[in-house]
A and B are shown apart, each in its own frame.
Chain A
Amino acid sequence: GESVGLHLPTLSVQEGDNSIINCAYSNSASDYFIWYKQESGKGPQFIIDIRSNMDKRQGQRVTVLLNKTVKHLSLQIAATQPGDSAVYFCAENKGDYKLSFGAGTTVTVRA
């Protein structure tokens, strides 16, 4: 089965609000995690990554949090915009940078 999974398959958020997308992983030895955004009919787009020696990393409007104690990963998007509507995947390094993807969360931004 999947070693990486997401808590919720869908998320509806009001434009301008903050979004939080969650992900649980099962392999405590995983050392590298990535969040991707995939729009319909396109390939995944890199958002942000984090290594296991960190618990937080910030990018432009996005923050990734890693809690190794409970094997939980989250992506926070600040001031969500209509262009943020997409499917978001967390991915885990299985070794040799082979990625295991979670099921994905569909984010819909309401105007």
Chain B
Amino acid sequence: GAVVSQHPSWVICKSGTSVKIECRSLDFQATTMFWYRQFPKQSLMLMATSNEGSKATYEQGVEKDKFLINHASLTLSTLTVTSAHPEDSSFYICSARGLAGGPGETQYFGPGTRLLVL
């Protein structure tokens, strides 16, 4: 139980294009999803918190117009990197937290999406 998936697992795009990454909770309803970024050999840095049906909240220093987050249902959140540039190349990981007392109360992570912007 408590499985989180991400799609795609790999994406290579040209500079200036937009990329959408999907995060799904497969066997539980995720009231909250989180988006992280991880550079090589570094720790995870929280980018934003996504709550179903409301606007995402962004951590300090994260551009909300560049990283668009939508949490349209209790099982799906999307992160769109708009006008991607090489410095946006990173490993993007989502996590999901479910309803209190349910199998997803603890925060579970997806497998990550590696983005390479050329």
Seen from chain A, the residues whose Cβ lies within 8 Å of a Cβ on chain B are: 2, 34, 36, 41-46, 49, 89, 96-104
B54 within 8 A of A: no
Contact call A104/B43, Cβ cutoff below 8 A? yes
Dominant secondary structure of chain B at its interface with chain A: strand
Q: Within the assembled complex, what's the spacing in Å between the Cα atoms of A101 and B45?
A: 7
Q: How large is the interface on B (under 10, 10 to 19, 20 to 34, 35 or more residues)?
A: 20 to 34
Q: Does chain A have a CB within 8 A of B93?
A: yes
With both beta carbons as reference points, the residue of chain A lying nearest to B32 in the complex is identified as A97
Q: Cβ of B106: which chain A residues have Cβ within 8 Å of it?
A: 34, 46, 49
Which B59-118 residues sit within 8 Å CB-CB of chain A?
93, 95, 97, 106-112, 114
User: If the complex has contacts A36-B109, A97-B32, A99-B34, are A44 and B93 also in contact, measured as CB distance less than 8 A?
Assistant: yes
> How far is the CB of B24 from the nearest CB of chain A, in Å?
13
A-B contact count (CB 8 A): 50
Bound complex: CA of A41 vs CA of B107, how far in Å? 19
Asked if B12 is at the interface of the complex by the 8 Å CB criterion, the answer is no
Residues of B within 8 A of A (CB): 2, 4, 6, 32, 34, 42-46, 49, 93, 95, 97, 106-112, 114
Contact A46 B49 (CB under 8 A): no
Q: From B97, which residue of chain A is reached at the shortest CB distance? A: A97
Question: What 5 pairs between A and B have smallest CB-CB spacing?
Answer: A43-B109, A43-B112, A101-B43, A44-B109, A43-B111
- B66 CB → nearest A CB, Å: 20
Some 22 contacts from A to B, beta carbons below 8 A apart, are A2-B43, A36-B109, A41-B114, A42-B112, A43-B4, A43-B6, A43-B93, A43-B111, A43-B112, A46-B108, A89-B44, A96-B32, A96-B49, A98-B46, A98-B49, A99-B34, A99-B44, A99-B46, A99-B107, A100-B46, A103-B43, A104-B43
